[in-house]
Amino acid sequence: MPDGSQACYVYDAFGRRISKTVTDKLGQSSTTEFVWQGEKLLAEQTDGQHYQTYLYQPDSFKPLALLKGEGKACEIYHYHLDHLGTPTDLTDEQGNIVWQAQYRSYGDVVAQHVEKIVNPIRFQGQYYDSETGLHYNRHRYYSPKTGRFTTVDPIGLAGGLNNYQYVSNPINWVDPLGLSACPPDDKSASKLDNLADQWKAENTPPSVEHGNIGRNGALR
């Protein structure tokens, strides 16, 4: 990267990113590991600590709460969303704002008003990578500065005529999986999960189809 740092990403058999290691120009590295529940990011842990869990609204990619830490030391923060399901605020259990951001139309943060905790969740299904400025969007990476994906749509023209386009109208549509645009309603998850299952069935290597890897990515 321009500042001399490097990033290495690791994916499971289903294409989900399960870890990233960022090494700065001085050689200092930090590794974040990710846990998934189907198509949704469930939790992350950095360098064996800093554990965060994400809860979502039912049948939706809209974040509901962020749990920081484990056991009795766990702190609960509540998401406040705009009409697209994008986080605008996070509040603690006393109602104090601990994170607040303002966005441009295509998701680029124009102002970070409060940042007492780290919140990488952006548009539905997107995770902000501070090392690149890109958003990990499950099947692709998205650039909020250009409003476009960095690679072609893996489902081809089934996702639209413009293979790099995020959505035609970012005020009213979202793309939680990086495959196809949809309205930002709570019931969109089941439809998108079916689309993802179809894509995986058509692109999974034979060894995976024959059962060497379990449904949740665990080796048998």
Predicted local confidence at residue 211, as pLDDT? 42
Q: What pLDDT shows up at residue 155?
A: 85
pLDDT top residue among 128 and 210: 128
- The fraction of the chain above a pLDDT of 90, given in percent, is 73
pLDDT digits (tens, 9 = 90+) for 63-104: 999 999 999 899 999 999 999 999 999 999 999 999 999 999
Task: Identify the band that residue 186 occupies on the pLDDT scale cut at 50, 70 and 90.
Answer: low
Strands 49-56, 87-91: pairing is: unpaired
> Could you count the other beta carbons within 10 Å of the beta carbon of residue 162?
13
* Average pLDDT along the chain: 89
Distance of CA 15 to the CA centre of its chain: 13
* Residue 142 CB burial class (10 angstroms; 0-12, 13-18, ≥19): buried
What's the pLDDT at 213? 40
Burial class (CB in 10 A: 0-12, 13-18, 19+), 187: exposed
pLDDT higher than 90, residue 119? yes
Task: Kindly report, residue by residue over 145-154, the tens digit of the pLDDT.
Answer: 999 999 999 8
pLDDT at 2: 83
Q: Does the pLDDT of residue 135 top 50, yes or no?
A: yes
- What pLDDT band is residue 170 in, cutting at 50, 70 and 90? very high
Nearest of 85, 34, 61, 90 to residue 189 by alpha carbon = 61
